[in-house]
Chains A and B, each alone.
Chain A
């Protein structure tokens, strides 16, 4: 009843190609943006903003990056965290070595560096496919982690191998409270997510999907494989790189290379599986699910167990539940939460008269 597009006519191509063709969707999106930009900073406390919502947003960005590569271009990658590390360390080094550059430019250049590294490791994708490629991306993961751990220059010869983000200044403002960091993260993520959404709807996104569905067929109909695969690796790594920079600057503040280990890659991979492979919205839903579930589990355990459950039992239980959920999702709904959302919307359009 409320969610029906009857009477909304599309009279121009522009309207036909809008991201949200239905008016109710547009209203909902604006309301959501207002809520996250104004209501959330007012209502949430520092713990929620700093320790839950900000990392959630950053990981969503990384998930969008991986989704571009795996969900849209079909190249399975296990090196996400490695590319995030490149972004984090590039932003740090740019910041302390070229202090003249504004911070936002640092972030973007960090993404560009990550993109370059990503393209180098994407080169084998032209010859190697499927699982062989997945294992090859592990090479990126381990090599990058090793370089940042063992080459002192990247950590500015810090004795502990840890980098600490210097204070952030944008346009003369100092960004140090949880609210300010949240708003910075949110702005970057919102802009980049919009960019990703538009990219996957345009020519480049369609060629990614053509390559994903069958690369030889794509080549036959004239999609250039080299530039398509490399652009997927590059843009995906760009997103991961910016996410890595934000992870360092807006969330942790102090980062060691081990923060970007293989488990982080898997975490992001799980996000896109649960959220929806090949969906921008799914990246957010998956990140929300994976970040919030452990917190929820902890709270439930605290309620039931009153502290009788030990930390390692909890960790094991979390592992079991995670693993079980992944399998469950793959069996029951291979397209993830995003697909459920879509089904709900379809149902809502007919409600309450389904005939």
Chain B
């Protein structure tokens, strides 16, 4: 086994897990773009979605209907959040909305675990988390089948969302709201509906992310911590850019795995957990050069 092969293995493994981070970051971007809310509860939504899905599956309902039911639950949740949390807070400073979503994340964690229990559940999507044999024989590199599968689902989801945003009438309304709330209201776009739709879309992304992460880590509380991994992705890519979320995820995923392997060996081997803070440092240093992230809208301030 050559060093170069090992490097590529780590790199590809990192890139593919980066795709999973992108999935979570995508949920943040959707909501931030359309409503200017930095939704800290996205991680809890991932957890809640996965818990709901597994809980429904345990009732003996097969995969696809369970998926539909979980999706409906996420949509109801989205409408509820818009009605109960966001609408009364219209016109409040962004920081208040942010803190409200922290409260929301506590609420969702408690609710999800209260409804479905706190024990760790296995979630089996029927895909092995084993090195893919075809690739191994062709290139001599070990890449997990599961990683490839999740990368493809993420790509599909992003494609769908891009179509939805760019080709449909609702998508047009979403982009208008993202551009300017007041102007959108002035031309008659119902802001409340748009927000409900965006939160529902974020719920859908959370569900997909929850399923993929859940089958890797088991459905349990630590799923909500995945959001913390997505934050550096988010600031690296820029809050307002879907492409940024993808590229940022790839960069963070690859660099954190490489850092874990190559910096981690200096400071005490596999337990060093460099990957807990390295992405943040990377993003922090990067922000000093580009304060709006890679693809974020340029921040223009008027006094």
Q: Say whether B234 faces chain A, with CB atoms less than 8 Å apart.
A: yes
Tell me which residues from 95 to 139 in chain B have a Cβ below 8 Å from any Cβ of chain A. 95-96, 98-100, 102-111, 113-114, 118
Binary CB contact string for chain A from 307 to 347 against chain B (1 if under 8 A, 0 otherwise): 00000110111111111111100110010000000000000
Known: A132-B287, A132-B291, A319-B109. A139 touches B280 (CB 8 A): yes
Least Cβ–Cβ distance between A78 and chain B, in angstroms:
9
A contact residues around B109 at 8 Å (CB): 316, 319, 323
Give, as a whole number of angstroms, the nearest-CB distance from B53 to chain A: 19
B104 in contact with A216 (CB, 8 Å): no
Interface size counted on chain B using CB atoms at 8 A: 50
Given A124-B284, A146-B273, A136-B235 contact (CB < 8 Å): yes
Known: A127-B291, A146-B277. A312 touches B118 (CB 8 A): yes
B299 within 8 A of A: yes
Q: Is there a chain A Cβ closer than 8 Å to B222's Cβ?
A: no
Return the CB mask of A175-217 against B: 1 if under 8 Å, else 0: 0000000000000000000000000000000000000001011
Contacts of B84 in A (CB 8 A): 327
Q: Within 8 Å of chain A (Cβ to Cβ): is B155?
A: no
Instruction: Determine if B287 and A127 form an interchain contact, defined as CB atoms under 8 angstroms apart.
Output: yes
In the complex, A142→B281 CA distance in Å? 9
Q: Does A168 contact B (CB under 8 A)?
A: no
Q: Is A135 an interface residue (CB 8 A)?
A: yes
Residues of B within 8 A of A15 (CB): none
In angstroms, how far is the closest chain A Cβ from the Cβ of B281?
6
Specify which of A76, A150, A214, A323 is in contact with B268 (CB 8 Å cutoff). A150
Decide: B277 and A142 in contact? CB cutoff 8 A: yes
Is A129 among interface residues, defined by CB-CB distance under 8 A? yes
The answer to whether A269 touches B102, judged by C-beta atoms less than 8 angstroms apart, is yes
Residues of chain A lying within 8 A (CB to CB) of residue B268: 150
* Chain A interface residues toward B at CB < 8 A: 76, 124, 127-132, 134-136, 138-139, 142-143, 145-146, 149-150, 214, 216-217, 220, 262, 266, 269-270, 273, 312-313, 315-327, 330-331, 334
Closest 8 pairs between A and B when the two form their complex, measured CB to CB = A319-B110, A326-B103, A323-B107, A323-B106, A139-B280, A320-B110, A316-B114, A142-B277
